[in-house]
């Protein structure tokens, strides 16, 4: 379809923009609370709400406070919450065994949230970085991030999370073959309905900086993640990754970071037509908040506009630290 507008003044494209009613009537994309996944940070302790310096408005929460957040999110109509543990050096070992401890921070939080807010979908992160002595998402052997051995550990981590009651597993590690291995293990362990939202096109990005502060990974990480996360120059490779992950049993796919990679979101949606998500990551959030705090932009407007952009680019939903703020705004409007 390629409509040819009649010449001016028969066609005046401003006509349909001239009133709020007409603008609403002709709007193609809208943002709703159903589009939101809220990432939260967990930490040990009780009654703890600890601000993350580089992410104004975001806190690390002890399990009891995370439960309160989940109850609030459920009441706001947010469909899913995503859990990330803050860990210190004492939680990190060479074998990363804490990652599949049934009583680790994430697994305790999943169980508590499923009791208090049973209707909200609980999503998790699968990667070894919170528990790895060197901060990498996979095992490091002689300076190399090894693939296959890491996948075996990721499967154990995934099963422990499914066992705790997680609804959506989010492998964020970018190892090859992990989706198929996790899917087979879930089927074998009688978890047929656990969803895999694969971090499929995850780029080696500078936009993850504040997140690494939030989870305590900044000082732990040695080197960079370029041998497993994608090169920001690539686009075709993302299509091959999506095809691969779908073939291995992913139910939903993700592009990450968000705004700088909207072209990838659009290509994925057009090429595959599958449930497609974007992660508006910590650095994107921090940029908006910092500029808003300085009075340089209208934070609320930019928040809504940036999230609507994901819908326009074809995304079915967005992981965003703005989720509760947006949900409240949408409720009031």
Ligand X SMILES: NCc1[nH]cc(CCC(=O)O)c1CC(=O)O
Q: Is 132 helix (H, G, I), strand (E, B) or coil?
A: strand
Cα Rg, the chain, nearest whole Å? 21
Q: Site for ligand X (CB under 6 A): which residue of 74, 107, 150, 172?
A: 172
192 close to 167: Cβ distance less than 8 angstroms = no
> What's the farthest any 2 CA atoms get from each other in the chain?
71
Give the nearer residue to ligand X in terms of CB position, either 62 or 131: 131
The single residue listed with the structure tokens 């499929």 is 200
Q: Does 125 bind ligand X (CB under 6 A)?
A: yes
Q: Which of residues 190-229 bind ligand X (CB under 6 A)?
A: 208, 211-212, 225
Q: Is 200 helix (H, G, I), strand (E, B) or coil?
A: strand
Question: Which one of the listed residues 225, 256, 269, 311 is annotated catalytic?
Answer: 256
Give the nearer residue to ligand X in terms of CB position, either 211 or 310: 211
Nearest approach in angstroms of CB 288 to ligand X is: 13
Helical H segments across the chain, by residue range: 20-26, 63-76, 105-116, 148-164, 178-188, 209-214, 236-248, 262-272, 282-293, 299-312, 323-332
Give the nearer residue to ligand X in terms of CB position, either 189 or 290: 290
Q: Does 261 bind ligand X (CB under 6 A)?
A: no
Q: Exposed/middle/buried for 149, CB within 10 Å: 0-12, 13-18, 19+?
A: exposed
Q: Does 127 bind ligand X (CB under 6 A)?
A: yes
Question: Is 256 considered catalytic here?
Answer: yes
Size of the site for ligand X (CB under 6 A): 11
Q: Which of residues 133-152 bind ligand X (CB under 6 A)?
A: 137
Q: Does 41 bind ligand X (CB under 6 A)?
A: no
Q: Site for ligand X (CB under 6 A): which residue of 54, 282, 289, 306?
A: 282
123 close to 197: Cβ distance less than 8 angstroms = yes
Give the nearer residue to ligand X in terms of CB position, either 129 or 251: 129
Give how far Cα 313 sits from Cα of 151, 184, 327, Å: 32, 32, 21
Stretch that binds ligand X, among 44-52, 104-112, 123-131, 149-157 (CB under 6 A): 123-131
Question: Which one of the listed residues 202, 225, 269, 311 is annotated catalytic?
Answer: 202
d(CA 260, CA 172): 18
Q: Point out which residues bind ligand X (CB under 6 A).
A: 125, 127, 129, 137, 172, 208, 211-212, 225, 281-282
What residues are annotated to the active site? 202, 256
């Amino acid at each position: 379809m390629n409509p040819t507008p009649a010449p001016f003044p028969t066609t005046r494209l401003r006509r349909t923009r001239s009133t709020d009613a007409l603008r609403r009537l002709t709007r193609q994309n809208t943002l709703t609370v159903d589009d939101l996944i809220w990432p939260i940070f967990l930490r040990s302790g009780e009654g703890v709400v600890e601000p993350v310096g580089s992410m104004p408005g975001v806190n690390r929460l002890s399990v009891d406070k995370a439960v309160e957040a989940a109850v609030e999110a459920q009441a706001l109509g947010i469909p899913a919450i995503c859990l990330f543990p803050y860990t210190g050096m004492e939680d990190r070992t060479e074998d990363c065994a804490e990652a599949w401890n049934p009583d680790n921070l994430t697994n305790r939080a999943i169980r508590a949230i499923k009791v208090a807010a049973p209707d909200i979908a609980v999503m998790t992160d699968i990667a070894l970085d919170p528990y790895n002595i060197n901060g990498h998402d996979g095992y490091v052997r002689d300076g190399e991030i090894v693939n296959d051995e890491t996948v075996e550990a990721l499967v154990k981590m995934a099963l422990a999370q499914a066992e705790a009651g997680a609804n959506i597993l989010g492998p964020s590690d970018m190892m090859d073959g992990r989706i198929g291995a996790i899917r087979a293990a879930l089927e074998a362990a009688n978890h047929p309905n656990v969803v895999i939202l694969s971090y499929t096109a995850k780029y080696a990005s500078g936009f993850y900086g504040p997140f690494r502060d939030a989870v305590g990974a900044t000082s732990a990480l040695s080197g960079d993640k370029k041998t497993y996360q994608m090169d920001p120059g690539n686009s075709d490779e993302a299509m091959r990754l999506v095809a691969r992950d779908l073939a291995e049993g992913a139910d939903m796919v993700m592009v990450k970071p968000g705004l700088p990679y909207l072209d990838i979101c659009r290509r994925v949606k057009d090429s595959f037509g599958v449930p497609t998500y974007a992660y508006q990551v910590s650095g994107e959030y921090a940029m908006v908040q910092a500029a808003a705090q300085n009075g340089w932009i209208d934070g609320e407007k930019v928040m809504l506009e940036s999230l609507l952009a994901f819908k326009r680019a074809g995304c079915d939903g967005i992981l965003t630290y703005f989720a509760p703020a947006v949900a409240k705004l949408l409720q009031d409007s």
